[in-house]
Amino acid sequence: MGELSKLPNIGAVLKQQLNDVGIQTAEDLLKIGSRDAWLRIQAMDPSACYNRLCGLEGAIHGIRWHDLPDQVKAELKEFYLAHKLARQ
């Protein structure tokens, strides 16, 4: 897999956030998974949103997050709602 920035859905900001939480390569992201990566990002950026979670999952699969199967999006939405931080 290699370079994070070569993955779909990973722009400069998300790449930097991944690097900041110890995810340096596409292999790191694959090993950690989208959910754990998102939780790490959310710990430093409480505004981490559902779309970012989907973007990470899509990156792992090598597709734009919009093209994730509906069932996967539903599972990610459930995870997001269970783990999002309350906004103050």
Structural domain spans, the chain? 4-83
Radius of gyration of the chain (CA): 12
% of the chain beyond a pLDDT of 90: 92
Average confidence (pLDDT) over 22-44 = 97
Between helices 50-61 and 12-20, what is the axis angle to 10°?
A: 90
The predicted-structure confidence for 50-84, as pLDDT tens digits, reads as follows: 999 999 999 999 999 999 999 999 999 999 999 99
Give the homologous superfamily in CATH for domain 4-83.
5' to 3' exonuclease, C-terminal subdomain (1.10.150.20)
Q: How many CB atoms lie within 10 A of CB 88?
A: 4
